[in-house]
Amino acid sequence: MRLTVRDTKEEVGNYIAEYIVKRINSFKASKEKPHFVLGLPTGSSPLPVYKRIVKLHEEGKVSFKNVITFNMDEYVGIPRDHPESYHTFMFKHFFSLIDIDPKNTHLLDGNAEDLYKECEDYEAAIKAVGGIDLFLGGIGADGHIAFNEPGSSLTSRTRIKTLAYETILDNCRFFNNDLSAVPRMALTVGVQTVMDAREVVLVVTGQNKALALSQMIEGGVNHMVTASALQTHPWALVVCDEDATNEL
Ligand code: GLP
């Protein structure tokens, strides 16, 4: 696992955006593998990354015509067009601002009739396109990746998860600070789904992530800090700002 420190969260965003754009641009499409497959997160940390990629796209420096995306997670039980659904987030901050074919974007459906089948189909869809080339992720204040809350199996795959109380409290800010409005469950890719990606890049910014960052990279690999699994990934990069290094 490599760690790169930048001064501010904007610089972290720029660095990761340019890194991803470089990967997309150096991808050589073939008949067997026509698409670059990108895994994507939501949350406030990746926003500067999306902002910079959109800018590079505006400048004609990258196209998403041959990119397929899979998002990490989605809430269960709020409508797809709810202002805080991850579906809304992705189209607002990214997909509607770039030249990606909406058919090439994949998000778990938290309103699917059969949630178990939805998760199985998601894993199958990832497999069908040859796996994920680069998974971008953030981490929760408790060191979770996607919605793999403390205690999740490190070999988990896409499934339904009950959110930890700390995550519900953290996400309350997006629901007018109304705790009762925060969904209690989500669909999420598993730790193993992330680990299967050829490359993983994590964006970690802010003082509130400092403890999680130190546990994730200085602590042992363990299921109470699920992002720590990345210590064993052959190609993982963590990019953080100065604030996030306070406990290292
Ligand atoms: C949620 C998401 C995670 C994200 C985390 C941190 O739990 N499921 O994917 O990493 O929030 O979000 P933020 O970047 O807003 O701190």
Pocket of ligand 1 (CB under 6 A): 41-45, 72-73, 138-140, 146-147, 167
Cα–Cα dist 183/186, whole Å: 8
What is the Å distance from ligand 1's center to 174 Cα? 11
* Ligand 1 atom nearest 188 alpha carbon: 8
Closest CA to 119 of 170, 74, 85: 74
CA distances from 180 to 38, 86, 117 (A): 33, 18, 28
Question: pLDDT band for position 229 (50/70/90)?
Answer: very high
Provide mean pLDDT across the span 73-80: 96
Read off the pLDDT band of 83 (50, 70, 90): very high
Domain assignment of residue 85, given as a range = 2-245
The rounded Å distance from CA 36 to ligand 1 centre is: 24
Tell me, in angstroms, the distance from the centre of ligand 1 to residue 145's CA.
Answer: 8
**Which one is catalytic: 142, 196, 199, 241?**
142
Q: Residue 139 CA: which ligand 1 atom is closest?
A: 10
Question: Is 39 in a helix, a strand, or coil?
Answer: strand
Ligand 1, atom 3, lies closest to the CA of 146
What pLDDT digit, counting tens, does each position of 124-148 carry? 999 999 999 999 999 999 999 999 9
ipTM of the complex: 0.96
Q: Whose CA is nearest to atom 12 of ligand 1?
A: 43
Predicted confidence band at 7 (pLDDT cuts at 50, 70, 90)?
Answer: very high
Nearest CA to ligand 1 atom 2: 146
Residue pair 118/85 in contact (Cβ under 8 Å)? The answer is: no
Give the full edge-to-edge strand order of the sheet including 73-75.
Answer: 73-75, 185-188, 159-162
Distance from the alpha carbon of residue 140 to the mean position of ligand 1, in angstroms = 5
CATH of the domain at 17: 3.40.50.1360
The answer to whether 13 and 203 are in contact (CB under 8 A) is yes
Quote the CA–CA distance of 77 and 80 in Å, as a whole number: 9
Average pLDDT over residues 199-219: 98
- Count up the domains in the chain and report the number: 1
Q: What's the predicted TM-score (pTM) here?
A: 0.97
Q: Which atom in ligand 1 lies closest to the alpha carbon of residue 209?
A: 16
Q: What is the pLDDT of residues 163-193, one digit of tens each?
A: 999 899 989 999 999 999 999 999 999 999 9
